[in-house]
Amino acid sequence: MTQTETQQQPPATVRSRVRIPLTFPDGFRVEAEVFTFHGLADGAEHLALALGDARGGTPLVRLHSECLTGDVFGSDRCDCGPQLRESVELIARAGGYLVYLRQEGRGIGLYNKLDAYALQDTGLDTYQANTALGLPEDGRDYTAAAQMLAGLGITTVTLLSNNPDKAEQLARLGIEVAERVPTGVHVSASNIHYLRAKVEHTGHSIPLARLVG
């Protein structure tokens, strides 16, 4: 299913829920209630982490695509790890959900992402590298994310994201985005060209003035 073909699917059903204490390398700690699901359109093992208390308000929600290199190994080639850390704290403070999606490399997979990195080292940007490999620039579909939110009884969210496509897809899938709140700018010498490409190519809400270099 392509992004232009997305449509509402039946809500997912909760398969299990378990509480997990999270501790980040900088010492920040929070307890999450982690949900797994049945009935996801793509059959992948996505998770929803409930953080803080969103009762009585619109939950703050981040759709975070899995990034092994950034989330686990702390790679500076992207901003995924810092975004994940920031998002958990913001959501815990406001109350809401981190929807962790198994969409490595914008949906192309880990090995292909590393192949794309090698092409980026020759001068291509992140989107050009994917295309050169015969892959979509961004293959992510957020149908499962919408199903998970619906299965949790959520129909309206405040979306924590710089990416307008996430809000557009959720709206088409029946989840109202009351507001889109950008994440911080997590820039380094190794990811500045990556971030600039996201702004110039897909309209991410990252101030270009912060990406000089």
**Of residues 210 and 76, which shows the higher confidence score?**
76
208 band by pLDDT with thresholds 50, 70 and 90: very low
Q: Which of 80-94, 164-178, 181-195 has the lowest mean pLDDT?
A: 181-195
Our answer to whether residue 140 is catalytic in this structure is yes
Q: What is the mean pLDDT of residues 142-163?
A: 96
Q: What is the DSSP string of the chain?
A: --GGG----PPPEEEEEEEEEEE-TTS-EEEEEEEEEE--TT----EEEEES--TTSPPEEEEEE--IIIIIT--SSSSHHHHHHHHHHHHHHH-EEEEEE--HHHHT-HHHHHHHHHHHTTT--HHHHHHHTT--S-----HHHHHHHHHTT--EEEEE-S-HHHHHHHHHTT-EEEEEE-------TTTHHHHHHHHHHH-----GGG---
The tens digit of pLDDT for each residue in 101-152 reads: 999 998 999 999 999 999 999 999 888 999 999 999 888 999 999 999 999 9
Q: What is the pLDDT of residues 48-80, one digit of tens each?
A: 999 999 887 899 999 999 999 999 999 998 889
Which among 71, 138, 141, 196 is annotated as catalytic?
Answer: 138
For the chain, the straight-line distance linking the first and the last C-alpha, in angstroms and rounded, comes to 38
Answer yes or no: 42 catalytic: no
| Residues with Cβ within 8 Å of residue 68, at least 6 apart in sequence | 104, 110
Nearest of 157, 175, 159, 167 to residue 58 by alpha carbon: 157
Mean pLDDT of the chain: 88
Residue pair 179/158 in contact by the 8 Å Cβ criterion = yes
* Matching residue, tokens 């809401």: 96
Give the pTM.
Answer: 0.88
Average pLDDT over residues 37-45: 97
- Residue 202, pLDDT above cutoff 70: no
Active-site residue, from 115, 140, 141, 196? 140
